[in-house]
């Protein structure tokens, strides 16, 4: 039954590759909204990556960090969206 | 159980890859947001469910703690990710980005 840790590290490597693709969009997106979309995608992938690595190393602390990172990146996305709209009305 | 773990990880990695591909290939902000957000949310659900199943199957108190924390992280991701992408789409439209290939624009006609 035991899946070896190499499975978790392969999944983590794939997620890192996809986050690098999202960072390409973050670097060369034409508008500011494109960059915000790329940043949101990077945040989602990093949360998934932290959960997989927390299972690979048997550390529940990494998953707690992932929870806090998800909530903080949500707040950051909301701030960027509000800034792109042109502030509060 | 091991087969289930591999299937869940496979689906998760496949959909995360499709999300990254959509972010690279689609023509404007709204289509990129559509592809990237939905595919990465779906893929992250499946990689996290794979971790949860693995930890519950391992047994022991520490692994069960890890599984429950992974479920809480999944819940946080499920609540925050669609809300954030909705706010981003609304902000992109209000900051004046036109949809690619749009013919009718009811927002401007109001």
Domain locations along chain B: 2-97
pTM attached to this predicted model: 0.90
Taking 60 as the threshold, does the pLDDT of residue A1 lie above it? no
CB contact under 8 A, B23 and A38: yes
**Residue B5 contacts residue B54 (beta carbons within 8 Å):** yes
Residues of chain A found within 8 Å of residue B95, distances taken between Cβ atoms: 32-33, 84-86
Q: How far is CA B87 from the centre of its chain?
A: 15
**Residue B32 contacts residue A30 (beta carbons within 8 Å):** no
CB contact under 8 A, A3 and B19: no
**Per-residue confidence in pLDDT tens, chain B, 110 aa:** 788 889 999 999 999 999 999 999 988 899 999 999 999 999 999 999 999 999 888 888 888 999 999 999 999 999 999 999 999 998 988 887 888 887 777 776 66
Number of domains observed in the structure of chain A = 1
SS3 track for B38-66: HHHHHHHHHHHHHHHHHHHHHCCHHHHHH
Domain span including residue A78: 5-85
**Residue B45 contacts residue B82 (beta carbons within 8 Å):** no
CB contact under 8 A, B70 and A51: yes
pLDDT of residue B109: 63
Rounded to a whole number of angstroms, the distance from the CA of B64 to the nearest CA of chain A is: 10
């Amino acid at each position: 039954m035991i899946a070896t840790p190499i499975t978790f590290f392969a999944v983590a490597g794939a997620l890192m590759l996809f986050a690098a693709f999202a960072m390409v969009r973050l670097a060369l997106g034409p508008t500011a909204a494109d960059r915000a979309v790329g940043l949101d995608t990077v945040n989602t992938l990093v949360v998934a990556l932290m959960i997989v690595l927390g299972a690979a190393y048997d550390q529940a602390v990494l998953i707690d960090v992932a929870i806090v990172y998800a909530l903080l990146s949500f707040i950051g996305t909301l701030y960027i969206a509000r800034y792109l709209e042109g502030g509060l009305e | 159980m091991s087969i289930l773990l591999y299937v869940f990880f496979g689906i998760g990695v496949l959909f995360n890859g499709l999300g990254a591909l959509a972010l690279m290939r689609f023509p404007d902000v709204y289509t990129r947001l559509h592809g990237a957000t939905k595919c990465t949310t779906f893929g992250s659900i499946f990689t996290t469910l794979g971790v949860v199943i693995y930890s519950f199957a391992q047994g022991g108190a520490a692994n069960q703690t890890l599984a429950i924390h992974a479920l809480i992280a999944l819940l946080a991701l499920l609540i925050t990710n669609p809300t954030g992408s909705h706010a981003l789409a609304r902000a992109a439209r209000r900051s004046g980005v036109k949809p690619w290939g749009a013919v009718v624009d009811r927002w401007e006609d109001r």
